[in-house]
Amino acid sequence: MTEILAERRSYIAGRWVDGDESFDVENPADESVVTTVAAASPADVERAILAARDSFDQGTWAETPVAERARVLRALLDHIETLHAPLVASMVAEAGQPVLFAEFAQYAAGLMLARNTIDLYLSMPHEQASPVPLDELVRGGLKASVRRHEPVGVVSAITPYNGAIIMAFQKLIPALMAGNSVVLRPSPLTPISSLAFGAAADAVGLPPGVLSVVIEEGSAGAELLTSHPAVDMVSFTGSTAVGRSILAQAAPTVKRVALELGGKSAQIYLPDAVEKVAAGAAAVVAMTAGQACVAATRILVPADRKDEVVQIVAQAYSALTVGPPSDQKATMGPLINAAARERCARIIAAAEQHGGKVALGGGRPAGLDRGYYVEPTVLDLPDNSNPAAQEEIFGPVVSVLGYRDLDDAVRIANDSPYGLAGQVYGADLAAATSVARRLRTGAVNVNAGMFSAYAPSGGYKQSGLGRERGPDGIRAFQEVKHIAVGELR
């Protein structure tokens, strides 16, 4: 069995730091201890912040030519590739993810995303003439009007447990390419894999303070990263509840805040596409166990075919194999911890109390006495007011709801405090695309999905602020400055 990454310490201001305290990282697949890691103290976190501040203010990285920044970051990615086997092993051990998910959806997809983000950044203009008519320039006595995109400064990047590496790639590479200095704080539930970025920064000689990785168990350091006056921006992926707290913590110093938060996405099947529901439903829980903010956990189908669809989805879910990563046949692993499993149980019970029916699952899979497993679960809900249709469950639970017509389907899909993603299935592309345009959500997949450095993601409503990936995701880490140039008179 491949060993996990060797480092167990935070990487701060260019060196590895031994903490005075430590904590265990648990494997959710069997509740065993993966390893013990050194915990950064609040003082260590502040040191990382101040080192980032110093490196940015001195222009150590921000004033490095863009082509050189690209060269260094490509070398950083090359080093991460040398850590391939222990990095994947770390993701599997700390998150209980199936090997295929860690290998392809995080490692391979993350590297491709990162390399394409560098290329995208290099293709974009970062200083250009403003589109001001010549006669307006002359009247104002101007020779030029220039718009510049400059780095924000010091960025706190706070990543979640369910996609530690892919989310780190998604935040770090555009932020660093733009010339920012970054402090990465991964979830304490899955901290090991993110230390690969510290190892890579050390290997390529990234200037001290430009990238630190802080490992902590509690919230004191995280609150420093969201409130410290030396931090200019917070980029966070996680729950809406924590996102609200970050907004409050960042408010006194008016930091820029980018938030990718919770979701309660809908997948809408037009009448001509109901036969595709089995595959679409299975994709919600396969590999991730439903632990994805974009998971389309509300399945909307024509009301007169709802009973049929419930049975189809139940049959598809009964065919899924649940088990630890060591089981090569397993297509779904555990939830991250006991609290996540208990949340699923609570919402399933609430769904039944409000008229919902459990068509399949709802409990612990047979034969899996250790580990935080929940059976793939199908709920038949009477309407969208049911708690299971309104609350983000973050587990292997889908709800089937019926709609009268497409107007009703759009109404149901939009009847949510969230708006992160959505799916529409239909043979009539014009009709399906029309429905997609009416959804109040940051991304919609029509019959197919896309994850790319060139396409943005982000939320409407309580699903977040700002965008990641794509040109918008790069601009999120930049300030805009206007320079007017005229002759001295």
Residue pointed to by tokens 């949340």: 343
Name the residue among 301, 367, 313, 368 with its Cα closest to residue 341.
368
Q: 338-367: buried (b, 16+ CB within 10 Å) or exposed (e) per residue?
A: eebbebbeebbeebbeeebebbbbbebbee
Q: How far apart are CA 241 and CA 256, in angstroms?
A: 18
Q: How far is CA 487 from CA 136, 146, 222, in A?
A: 15, 15, 48
Is residue 46 annotated as part of the catalytic site, yes or no?
no
Q: 410-435: buried (b, 16+ CB within 10 Å) or exposed (e) per residue?
A: bebbbbbebbbbbbbbbeeeebbeeb
Measured in whole angstroms, the distance separating CA 335 from the mean position of its chain's CA atoms is 17
Residue tagged active-site, from 260, 391, 392, 468: 260
Residue pointed to by tokens 């509690």: 218
In sequence order, which residues have a C-beta less than 8 Å from that of residue 196 and are 6 or more positions away?
5, 80, 83, 87, 90, 165
List residues bridging with 322 in a β-sheet. 332
Handedness of CA 134, 140, 145, 147 (dihedral sign): negative
H helices of 251-405, where? 277-285, 306-318, 338-353, 387-390
In sequence order, which residues have a C-beta less than 8 Å from that of residue 445 and are 6 or more positions away?
421, 422, 423, 424
Strands (E) in 381-443, as ranges, are 397-403, 418-419, 422-425
Name the residue among 344, 337, 333 with its Cα closest to residue 289.
333
The conformation of residue 32, written as its DSSP 8-state character, comes to E
Element (H, E) at 43: helix 42-57
Q: How far apart are CA 376 and CA 282, in angstroms?
A: 9
Residue tagged active-site, from 94, 216, 293, 391: 293
Is residue 293 annotated as part of the catalytic site, yes or no?
yes
Q: How far apart are CA 91 and CA 177, in angstroms?
A: 25
Name the residue among 124, 96, 110 with its Cα closest to residue 333.
96
In sequence order, which residues have a C-beta less than 8 Å from that of residue 213 and are 6 or more positions away?
10, 11, 12, 183, 184, 185, 186, 194, 195, 197, 198, 201
Q: How far is CA 48 from CA 9, 22, 52, 214, 252, in A?
A: 13, 18, 6, 8, 21
* Helix, strand, coil shares, percent, the chain, to 5: 40, 20, 40
Residues labelled as active-site residues:
260, 293
